[in-house]
Amino acid sequence: MPDSQPILLSEYEKITPLHYRILFMSWAGWVFDFYDLILFTFLLIPISAEYHFTNMQMSYVAGATLAATALGGVIFGILSDRFGRRPVLQWTIMTYSLGAFLSGIAGTFWLLMIFRVITGLGVGGEWGTGQTYIGETFPAKVRGRYCAMMQTGAPLGIALASIVGGLIMPLIGWRACFFISILPALLVLYIRKQLPESDLWLRKKVAEKSIQHKILQHGSESLRQFLRLFSKEHRKYFLLGLVLAIFDMSAYWLTYSWMPGYLHMERHFSLTKSALWILVTQTGGFLGYLVFGFLADRLGRRPAYSLYSVIMALGLVMVTVFWSHIAMYPPIILGFMFLVGFGTGMFGGFGALFSEIFPTSIRNTAMGSAFNLARGIQFLTPVIISVIAVQYGLGGGISLAAVFALLTGIWIWTFPETRGRKLYTEEGKVSVNDKHSKDIFP
């Protein structure tokens, strides 16, 4: 790299306070992102009771929210590659905060549907933007663990949703639970003043101007940016990544879209007890994400994914298919609930993996599109479980998640091992000289 160019944040030998600020704000955005998404699964019972909505109607609302995350992931991913990581991170937080707040004033089924779709748009955009931000600014040797640390926001978001939706909601009502969801918008004020733009993205923009190559110069090129994912250079890994995300997302949402309802309606738990048991899974999830990052940096991305997929599948089978065999031993059931959460820690690998297989010019587009298109496909997940539940119960539907968890652990081996790889600034070129890096582009 020429001496005239300043050293990139991703090339620092040690983590600085600036790195930690980027990590913290991306993480905080993800905490409240997931909180707003999961809160609805706890509030669907009082909402449906007040308006006499059926389980199928509530499944459609939950499914529409997930479908909207797909659109949000694509839209905000393209915007982030055009306008930068920092401003788009702010836009996504404002969007999901507004959608959650408006959900509290919904008086009809269709208004609730619209406001949850708005929430989903913001939720879909935040993850990819935050993960790209971290992936581009943290050194390669520790990228896996810090991308996984951001992912710990998911179990904490679920834990917060469990507390608010399961413990506080009976005291303040479901509408107030949505109203207080506007508070994360305050993060935008901090991000605007305290965080820098990704220097790797800035360098890419300067390079584009120097060769008079401005991506997305016209609105019509937004589609061109998305279609680049299907070009000869990128379609193989984009499609592999999309399938990986679909398998993992299916495992996750088959587990959690009806888990509170499963515990409440089939295992006859009170809403409070259901919330407390969900907290056990999220304790496992928090620890699972932290450990995954270290394992992925030490052993590699592929072995870590496979190990976690087996752990998640084991926990799922035991708390659904074999529940009756261990029901008389609550500590054992809680142990397997913990394993379910711990196994979901494999989601901590997506940020690092996608950062390492796509260049800067389309990194956020690729990451946001694959991750959130996979989540959008989960539109059918709550509905599928409702249909299966007619004959096999909610536990029968949730148990399908074990199959998809195992498929995730198998599919990861279609990727090259990218542990420690330097980031690509453009097709076939890494940000610095790296004798260990290989050109992974066809």
Residues 255 and 398 sit within 8 Å (Cβ to Cβ): yes
Distance CA 49, CA 40 (A): 14
Specify the pTM: 0.74
pLDDT at 242 (0 to 100): 93
Q: Taking CA 166 as the corner, what is the angle to CA 153 and CA 375, rounded to the nearest 5 degrees?
A: 45
Phi and psi at 84, nearest 5°, equal 115, 160
Query: Distance of alpha carbon 198 from its chain centroid, rounded?
Result: 20
Total number of residues shown for the chain:
442
pLDDT at 306 (0 to 100): 97
pLDDT at 426 (0 to 100): 59
Q: E strands, 212-313, where?
A: none
Look up residue 60 and give its amino acid: Y
pLDDT at 432 (0 to 100): 39
Residues 391 and 400 sit within 8 Å (Cβ to Cβ): no
Distance CA 257, CA 242 (A): 21
Residue 107: how many CA atoms within 13 Å on its side-chain side? Answer: 0
Look up residue 302 and give its two tokens. 């592929």
Look up residue 177 and give its amino acid: C
16, burial (CB in 10 Å: exposed 0-12, middle 13-18, buried 19+): exposed
Which residues does 391 contact at the CB level (< 8 Å), separation at least 6? Answer: none
Query: Distance of alpha carbon 306 from its chain centroid, rounded?
Result: 19
Q: For each of the chain's 442 residues, which pLDDT tens digit applies?
A: 445 567 888 888 889 999 999 999 889 888 888 888 888 878 888 898 888 888 778 878 887 888 888 888 889 988 988 888 889 988 999 999 999 999 999 888 999 999 999 999 998 888 888 888 998 899 888 888 898 889 888 888 888 888 888 789 989 999 999 998 888 778 777 777 778 888 888 887 776 665 444 444 444 556 677 788 888 888 899 999 999 999 999 998 888 877 877 887 788 887 778 778 888 998 999 999 989 989 999 999 999 999 999 999 999 999 998 988 888 898 999 999 999 999 999 988 888 898 888 888 888 888 888 888 888 787 777 677 777 777 777 778 888 899 999 999 999 999 999 888 877 565 555 443 343 434 333 3
pLDDT at 114 (0 to 100): 95
- Compute CA distances 283 → 14, 36, 150, 160, 360, whole Å: 29, 19, 15, 12, 34
Residues 353 and 301 sit within 8 Å (Cβ to Cβ): yes
Least Cα distance to 403 among 288, 335, 278, 309 occurs for 309
The domain ranges of the chain are 9-207+226-430
pLDDT at 210 (0 to 100): 52
Look up residue 421 and give its amino acid: R
pLDDT at 392 (0 to 100): 77
Which residues does 106 contact at the CB level (< 8 Å), separation at least 6? Answer: 112, 115
pLDDT at 436 (0 to 100): 40
CATH superfamily ID and name for 9-207+226-430: MFS general substrate transporter like domains (1.20.1250.20)
Least Cα distance to 354 among 210, 276, 248 occurs for 248
Describe the chain by its helix, strand, coil percentages, rounded to 5.
80, 0, 20
Residues 47 and 58 sit within 8 Å (Cβ to Cβ): yes
Query: Distance of alpha carbon 49 from its chain centroid, rounded?
Result: 30
pLDDT at 115 (0 to 100): 94
